[in-house]
Structure 1
């Protein structure tokens, strides 16, 4: 079975392509084929602070008690916190800058505006703090420039194209030019003939020609649903992209 990502499907600049391989007889999603852009998005989920996840999904949509913790921070009076910035930092944590050039498949979330870092005047000092005018821990070294940490560092705005690429011109996390296999439970592996054959045998698929290929465009709405599904089910792709066939047998009401 030859495996390749469809490149002719028209899609919005704000979406990425995902090819679903479906067994129509059982209406079961076997796996999906994806390129770098979709895999980068999946891996980017791992870098999201919990506070950001709660804001994206809603306090009532998260698993367990995390939503209650978020609500507690929100509802607790400012007088109970050491400072207003500390409360704001919990509700709007700073997003990581390691996700350079990752397809933006999640709504724009504003980070805390109170998070500042400070250092002392020494060029060789590697220490930073969030509290201005703290004493530099390296002040006892031979370098006399170590002292009060009041030199504010500047954050780069990652939402306007000034993205950290980590030395990779492509940005993101994984290499391009590779077709990746995404399982229903979001397990990611590189695509190969061996993995495909093994998977088809596992699902007892006898004839590859019976499988249905469906190329879809994944946008922000689907990105949020994938984030939600990744925390709630082991069949994330199916729950978001596979339309459930209604049973032909109608249930009768109990008397």
Structure 2
């Protein structure tokens, strides 16, 4: 495979797809994928804008980023370091299982073996690995239980299972889609904008 990273480790994600509506109803996810979803909340906004601004970002945050970037330092307060705002340092990144990827400095990178978020050590991530989780199309996460499946009135005979791999490229696409749609999994893995 040319242009791909042979060292990249990917997460497997089982999607349950409504073939008639052509949308993801939910994904059966492991701890690693759920940790990734929750870590999206910890990425500084400037880091997201910096990474997505050249990849078709929607909205005006790219303009805010570019205006600060091009503003002459004569207009800034003496104690303001423009680079610390535009390129904040973070101790945690996108996917814990992708730690063997060599990423360029412009990328989000990957989780380090240990980090702190909200004063809590995230060495082991956010959630326990005591079972599987249900991740809805809008990235809402719930522990997978029979009662939950019944509550959502899921008719399994109308669903098709589709297993996908989530690597760094897919992680960035999930991040981008989460900023523009509530049908994140459908958009990323079925190529359908809802």
TM range (shorter): 0.7 to 0.9
Q: Which has the higher contact order (CA 8 A, sep 6+)?
A: 2
Mapped to 2, the partners of 1:17 and 1:212 lie a distance apart of 16
Instruction: Give the drift of 1:35.
Output: 0.5
The residue number in structure 1 matching 2:75 is 80
> Can you give the 5+ residue segments of structure 1 that lack an aligned partner in the other structure?
1-10, 112-157, 245-255
Instruction: Give the drift of 1:159.
Output: 6.5
Instruction: Give the drift of 1:209.
Output: 3.5
Say how many residue pairs are matched: 181
TM-score by length of 1: 0.61
The residue number in structure 2 matching 1:193 is 146
Instruction: Give the drift of 1:12.
Output: 6.9
2:157 to 201, 209, 213: 209
Alpha-carbon deviations, 1:29-53, whole Å to 9, x = none? Answer: 2110100111111111100111001
- The RMSD of aligned alpha carbons is 3.2
Distance 1:178 1:13, change over 3 A: farther
Mapped to 1, the partners of 2:66 and 2:36 lie a distance apart of 28
> Can you give the 5+ residue segments of structure 2 that lack an aligned partner in the other structure?
1-5
TM-score by length of 2: 0.78
2:15 to 15, 20, 39: 20
Report which of the two structures shows the higher radius of gyration computed on alpha carbons.
1
Are 1:231 and 2:184 an aligned pair? no
- Contact in 2 for aligned 1:41/1:104 (Cα 8 Å): no
- Contact in 1 for aligned 2:13/2:166 (Cα 8 Å): yes
Structure with more of its chain in helix, by fraction: 2
